[in-house]
Amino acid sequence: MSAAARCSSLHAGVRLPSAFPGRAVDPQHHGQQQLLPAQRPQPRHRRAAPLVAAAEAASLEEQQQQQQQPGSSENGGQPSTSGRGAAPALKVRGAKVVVQDMVKHFETRRGLFKAVNGASVDMEPGTITALLGPSGSGKTTLLRLIAGLEEPTAGRVFFDGEDITGRSVPDRDLGFVFQGYALFKHMTVADNITFGPRMRKMGLDLEAKVEELLQLTELEGLGGRYPPQLSGGQKQRVAVARALACNPRLLLLDEPFGALDPVVRKSLRHGLRDIVRRVGVTTIIVTHDQEEAWDIADHVVIFNKGAIEQHGTPEEVAKEPMSPFVMNFVGDVSHVPASCQLVRKMGFHTDKPFVMVRPSDIRLRTNFEECQSCAPATVHDKANLGKSVRYYLRFDDDVDVDLTVSRKVDEEVYDLGVGQRVFVQVPPAKMMGFDYSDIDATSAGI
């Protein structure tokens, strides 16, 4: 198998199956809703990327299952999106990273500011962890603390059990990719890639290294170009190749796709996932894009006001949000008064004034006889969003809840008209009481 073929996931428009069966098609996140009318087929409850049609999700799932057959992984037992192994020279043993009680205070004119406030998280070797959270919640600061670019006020970082908190940046075996890529414009692609090994006098066969990395990142033939002669996606791949040139055991990416348009982003993130899996490097990515985090990461860490609100697999965090903040931050929710008909009918009790409901937890029926405990509502409006359809449901006490379904699901299952009566059920266990102060993401500081 040629290296070019190995990197096929980097081709724009090529869609690789997810390496994580069951996650990329999770109905709990950006979910598809359930409609259970009489004599209607039940929808397939799975999620691909938001608004991906159920048929596409089904075919993805089949591909994922094939990928997961015993013996299908050639990457040290790790799932591989391509079923192909890394070039041996590029393969590394990713570090196990443990962040313990990390605190960072910045001096500001208004006093000390707590940017990171007691963050603890473990990252297993070779895994991808996404740091997610609102702007200013401390994601980049934690990344910089792990890199050694900031000195912690308190807390420790361990690589493979070794305390590296006091080590300099070059002594940490890291690779970096930043949003702007920070490529050297006056150097060729090849020189950009070999910059690190040359500075560190690593004594590598630089020509061979460049070839391997150009192949891995599908940039063959572009080694002699200068950065201004590259597209945004190509620059991003050069940045990844350069970050991997010193065989890092931890790769840190801060909004690596931020400057790219959504189509290129999607294609590149699948390529990146494939590359880091094959190389085996432990990877931490800061992103604002939840779809990106869900698509690429084994673990997600949700930040709020400098603290970690929750971390776990994307499924865990989406299905079992542990706080109103996480439930509100991850995926779609509707906010309704705790005293409204829907909440009372479902028998949900809370001492909070509001309740969150995920559209993906809504069950609809068109026949009251089938669900006498349901809350009646009317389809108040229906919006065609291209690949999806949004229904606006109005309950009899004038409380509104909306839900979005893919066009295919709508055609095959929903097909409701404006003014139609529906009967709504939401499992009380899926509701969460909250006050607006619980979901306020304004930075705390001190």
- Residues contributing to the site for ligand ATP (CB under 6 A): 106, 108, 113, 115, 133, 135-141, 288, 443
What residues does 102 pair with on adjacent strands? 119
Nearer to ligand ATP, 141 or 188 (CB): 141
Q: Cα–Cα distance between 126 and 283 in angstroms, integer?
A: 7
Cβ of residue 370: shortest distance to ligand ATP, in angstroms? 46
Half-sphere exposure of 293 (CA within 13 A, CB side): 29
Nearer to ligand ATP, 113 or 178 (CB): 113
What residue type is assigned to position 130 of the chain?
A: A
Classified as helix, coil or strand, 315 is: helix
DSSP letter assigned to residue 75: B
Nearer to ligand ATP, 73 or 443 (CB): 443
DSSP letter assigned to residue 411: I
Backbone φ and ψ of 34, nearest 5°: -105, 130
What residues does 286 pair with on adjacent strands? 131, 254
Q: What angle do CA 48, 49, 54 make, to 5 degrees?
A: 40
Cβ neighbors of 48 (< 8 A, separation 6 or more) are 24, 25, 56, 57, 60
Cβ of residue 414: shortest distance to ligand ATP, in angstroms? 36
> Hey, what are 423's tokens?
């009967």
Nearer to ligand ATP, 141 or 366 (CB): 141
DSSP letter assigned to residue 78: B
Cβ of residue 166: shortest distance to ligand ATP, in angstroms? 20
Cβ of residue 138: shortest distance to ligand ATP, in angstroms? 4
Nearer to ligand ATP, 125 or 133 (CB): 133
Nearer to ligand ATP, 67 or 290 (CB): 290
Q: DSSP states of 15-71 as a string? A: -PPPSSTTTTT-TTSSPPPEE--TT-PPPP---SSTT--HHHHHHHHHHHHHHTSTT
Cβ of residue 83: shortest distance to ligand ATP, in angstroms? 35
Cβ of residue 378: shortest distance to ligand ATP, in angstroms? 40
